Amino acid sequence: MKKVLLGCLLVCLALCRPAAWAQAPVGDGLRGDYYQGLNFDHLEGTRRDAQLDFDWQQAPPLRGMLADYFTVRWTGWLVPPVTGRYLLRLTVDDAVRLWLDDKQLLDEWRGQPLGYYEASVELQAGRAYRLRLDYAQYSLRSRLQLAWERPRQPEALGSWRNLWNAGTRLQATNRQREVIPT
């Protein structure tokens, strides 16, 4: 009997996936084209990057490249799991440009120390948005991270996460930044 119930449960789980799973399949990463030179001069290699969260310090991004004066162009698709206003956050040292569906959201194309940038965009769940991110490393430390802050989702009033024991000491929680899984 337990085996039958377990089998039914597994079949139900396989067929009744949450809507977000169906809307936003797990991606295989962005295509990264790595160039030596500050103007996408000499293609040195291409690879899939599962997420954009790099702190190369003063090391080259690929074997055989120099640690300074390189560019990378990442292209692919961003498929959000829920509809709403997203805050795209970039941490970058040196230059960066960001497009979503051919609309430029950010243009900070210059040598600079570590900087933090944000772009607020309205996205629809399950829709594929064309993403392009250009990055340039001039000299010294190199760092790039693309993250997002998802829209807040309303919860049902009766949710167990909304109910607390009167003796429990509560603390406010902050929204967390999440590296975008690609």
Q: What is the pLDDT of residue 27?
A: 73
Tell me which architecture the domain covering 24-151 has in CATH.
Sandwich (2.60)
Model-wide pTM > 0.75: no
How far apart are the C-alpha atoms of 179 and 90, rounded to whole Å?
A: 10
pLDDT at 153 > cutoff 90: no
Query: Across residues 91-98, what is the average pLDDT?
Result: 95
How far apart are the C-alpha atoms of 154 and 177, rounded to whole Å?
A: 18
Could you give the 3-state DSSP secondary structure of residue 13? helix
pLDDT digits (tens, 9 = 90+) for 26-81: 578 899 999 999 999 999 999 999 999 999 988 999 999 999 999 999 999 999 99
14: part of which helix (H) or strand (E)? Answer: helix 2-15
pLDDT at 158 > cutoff 80: no
**Alpha-helix runs per DSSP H in 24-176:** none
Give the residues across from 179 on adjacent strands. 147
Domain ranges of the chain: 24-151
Query: Contact, 134 vs 71, CB < 8 A?
Result: yes
pLDDT at 95 > cutoff 90: yes
pLDDT at 154 > cutoff 90: no
More confident: 21 or 154: 154
How distant is the alpha carbon of residue 71 from its chain centre?
Answer: 19
